[in-house]
Structure 1
Amino acid sequence: MRASLRRGRTWIVVAVALLAGALVLVALQGAIRAPGPPLAADDPAPGGAQALARVLADRGVEVRQVRSLDAALAEARRGATVFVHDGLGVLDRARIGELAAVADAIVVARPDFASLEVLAPGVRLAGAVDGAPGAAGCAVPAADRAGTLSDGQRLLTIDDDAAASGFTGCFPSGDGFAVVAGTAPDGAEVVLVGATTPFANESIDEAGNAALAVGLLGARDEVVWYLPGPGDADAAEAPTLAELTPGWVSPVLVLLVVATIAAGIWRGRRFGPLVVEDLPVHVPASETGEGRARLYARSSARLRAIDQIRIGTIRRLSAVLRLPRSADVDAVVVSAAQATGQPAASVRALLVDAVPQDDRELVRLARDLDGLERAVHAAIAPDPSLDATDPTGRRT
């Protein structure tokens, strides 16, 4: 057992290292990755928005989180404020237009190009502000109560056409604004918040973020918290696998298939019979014994190896001592002890009880067994060096 552990300690160390690395990776992912999507109303992680949802609920606002466009459309028709954060960018212009056509009020956190083109034509993305933006400076009640916003805001610009259609900006920084409000072409009241910081758990308590978020989403008794999922994407407009695959992939795949088939034919050929000799093949007993001994040595099966030697020794001693086939080991021990004059306990320990602890002891036991067998032969069989015709018994 110890020898097996010594031989396999390298693989054991590798397995333990891989297991430890997997556990560390799982722990890091659990600590870094949010349990839910960004700005989820039931997510307590730093990137979630559970704090805002609970504040709204305490103020009597019913917050219903949905993950499909159909559910959002159904709730919007009832007059609820629609809060949208399309972090994956799955909504196309047609779906955003469907939502704008039935909603009375829409608040969009970190809008993308499609949302701006449908809800606020003429409003564009303008990067991020360095530090905190300026004071509200607009007539939007929620922004006016907030006063200021924290660092990390993203900016939106308003061109002349958007300004002429009624869009106004709050919290300016240069030519951009952190919040833009106006009326969409379909008639919905739209508020575009450039960043997610006013809504996220980790930053909602900074500056006037909480006042802005509560003011925008708490104006009505119901809020539809809509986080689009992959199921809202238009599968018909999604690129096919052939469109996403580079042109060189197909020839390489064909070449790999041809090479695999050729390698299989090459390695699978048989040049003549596997065994030249006519079966059954005769294997010398010495090769069998040597192979079995190597297997015992490789697996450190010392006790099994010495037992095989003992079995052969006991069988030969039984034949030399003229014992019947039914004789047990104890009979062989007694007869061998009587023939050699050795103590029966020593003979029994040698033939049965002794257990080798290492290779050196295994070799010693094998030599002692050979010596016992020679001693029995010398005691039982006549000495071939004595001349039987010489009455004096002198050696020849």
Structure 2
Amino acid sequence: MTAAPPAERVERRPADGGADAPVANRSLTPGVRALVRRRRAWIVIALALVLGGLVLALIQGLVRPPGVALGADNPAPGGAQALVRVLSAQGVEVRSVRTLAEAERAAARGATVFLYDEAGLLDRERVAGLAAAADLLVVARPDFAALEVLAPGVRLAGAAGGPIDRAACELPAARSAGSLSEGQALLTVDDDAAASGFAGCFAEGDAFAVVSGPSPDGAEVALVASEAVFANETIDEAGNAALAIGLLGARDELAWYLPGPADVDASGAPTLAELTPGWVSPVAVLLGLAVVAAGVWRGRRFGPLVVEDLPVHVPAAETGEGRARLYARSSARLRALDQLRMGAIRRLTELLRLPRSAHVDAVVAGIADATGRPAPSVRAVLVDALPAGDRELVGLARDLDDLERAVRDALRPSPTEPDPTGRRP
């Protein structure tokens, strides 16, 4: 035997006279604090991700200098805007080019070509083509490919231990500079390169910060091992400015060439099949077939649904109370009100002796005729009114109860009316 559903519990607190006064139950709709406490794990994860992104952006901003390195219009410490402005003031027309074709056209007009390939985008063939088109080529921090093409026998040799105070060569730009600042890289010149005409300047031991000579294609090449000679932050140290101006300001036109993505030879890039071993493709096919076979072998289809009795009996009152608490915790006021309205409309339809398929407008009209209330107000209670909060939801529930009670009272026969069956009271 199941117990009757418990009555609504009412909290009591002492009033002024010491008597207990009833207090309405606390609302179950979660507030801001409850929502934050319930989702604090996700909030912490989101804050950690945002903080990590900000820290990463800050680190990248500190490590990676803004703008293009040695860009002609870049005023950042790693740019070269200061040198370009000085050259322009001395009458040198500086043209910033971003493709190999533009650099070759400028070289064909007799311009000095300044090359700084930071990412190593140019292959050996493109470097050779540029050297064949140029008469004077100045290369900042050359890589292995550029050295092999422009100056065979010249190799990278690490970094200098400090400033270099002596030019020790016959290159006019180096002699006018006299010294170089810290941060210089070094190059070595072997006997074959020296025999072909290459000579070094600013020596530290057997290595040099600047190497010049004729390339195999006939261009006069000046190899500056470090970009510190041209950068904004170091251009004014020691003789860096004199060396850069002497190398780049020898002619009236200068092509400032920083290779871009358009200069990459996409046809020479290896394909995915070339990068993977030969056994990868057959193994991938076998794995796919094995997955399909396992799915066919172990897969099962769901049969028809089987209706089973529940092992326990759950009273309807407890089910309703549990659903109401779920609605309250998720703030589903409209769904809860819909359940109340559907139950009220079903009971009112039975009271008015209307068919179950009757439209709600017919139910509203029947209630208005029975109670004398305006049809719009009845429809507002049954259909139109929407709760903005818990207080409005409770008020609409009370209005539904009042409306149902009014219909029952209106349809209850009066005590003074004779019984239609003819029976005596």
Deviations 1:112-168 (A, max 9, x none): 222222222222211111222342122212112222111111111112222233322
TM-fit CA distance, 1:43? 2.3
Deviations 1:223-281 (A, max 9, x none): 11122234334445433322322456435533542354346546764143x4357xxxx
Cα distance change, pair 351–157 in 1 and its aligned pair in 2 (3 A): closer
- SS of the residue 1:125 aligns to: strand
Structure 1 residue 205 corresponds to structure 2 residue 236: yes
**1:3 maps to 2:34:** no
In structure 1, list runs of 5 or more residues that go unmatched.
278-285, 336-349, 382-396
CA pair 42-351 structure 1, distance change in 2 beyond 3 A: closer
Kept in 1, the 8 Å contact 2:345–2:363? The answer is no
CA contact (8 A) 1:314 1:332 kept: no
Give the direction of change, closer, same or farther, for the CA distance of 1:240–1:221 in structure 2 (3 Å limit): same
Deviations 1:10-40 (A, max 9, x none): 4455445545544554565456544544222
Counterpart in the other structure of 1:293 = 323
Paired residues for 1:238-249 under 5 Å:
238-247=269-278, 249=280
> In structure 2, what is the equivalent of residue 187 of structure 1?
218
1:291 to 1:196, Cα distance in 2 relative to 1, 3 A = farther
1:45 aligns with 2:50: no
Report the Cα distance in structure 2 between the residues aligned to 1:58 and 1:3, rounded to whole angstroms: 71
Aligned residue for 2:108?
77
| Aligned match of 1:65 | 96
Query: Are the equivalent residues in 1 in contact too, given 2:348–2:363 (CA < 8 A)?
Result: no
* 1:99 aligned partner: 130
Structure 1 segment 59-208 matched on structure 2, within 5 A:
59-208=90-239
Write the letter of the residue equivalent to 1:102: A
1:155-185 residue CA offsets vs partner (Å, 9 max, x unmatched):
1111222223332211111110101112223
Give the secondary structure class of the aligned counterpart of 2:212.
Answer: strand
Q: Contact between 2:139 and 2:223, CA under 8 Å: does it hold in 1?
A: yes
> How high is the TM-score relative to the length of structure 2?
0.67
| Cα distance in structure 2, aligned partners of 1:259 and 1:135 | 72
Number of matched pairs: 360
Shift of 1:318: 8.7
How far apart, in 1, do the equivalents of 2:149 and 2:345 lie?
98
Q: For the residues of structure 1 that align with 2:65 and 2:276, how far apart are their CA atoms?
A: 32
Match of 1:212, SS state, is helix
Rounded to whole Å, the distance in 2 between the matches of 1:16 and 1:125 is 47
- How big is the alpha-carbon RMSD for the aligned residues of Structure 1 and Structure 2? 4.7
8 Å contact kept, 1:154–1:194: yes
Match of 2:305 among 275, 281, 285: 275
Alpha-carbon separation, structure 2, partners of 1:256 and 1:3: 50
Per-residue CA deviation, residues 292-321 of structure 1 (Å, 9 max, x unaligned), is 937635633246425633663576479679
CA gap 1:175/1:328 in 2 versus in 1, 3 angstroms: farther
Would the aligned equivalents of 2:215 and 2:221 in 1 still touch at CA under 8 Å?
Answer: yes
Q: C-alpha displacement at 1:325, in angstroms?
A: 5.5
- 1:305 and 1:240 map into 2 onto residues whose CA distance is 61
Corresponding residue of 2:418: none
**Letter aligned with residue 87 of structure 1:** E
- Check whether the contact 1:4–1:300 (CA below 8 A) recurs between aligned residues: no
Q: Secondary structure at the match of 1:3?
A: coil
Q: Do structure 1's residue 56 and structure 2's residue 87 form an aligned pair? A: yes
**Which has the higher mean CA deviation after the structures are superposed, 131-140 or 296-305?**
296-305
Question: Partner of 2:11 in structure 1?
Answer: none
Name structure 2 gaps, 5 residues minimum. Answer: 1-27, 308-315, 355-361, 374-380, 414-425
Question: Per the alignment, do residues 2 and 31 of structure 1 end up closer, same or farther by CA in structure 2, a change over 3 Å counting?
Answer: farther
Distance in 2 between the 1:249 and 1:291 partners?
60
Give identity over the alignment, percent.
60
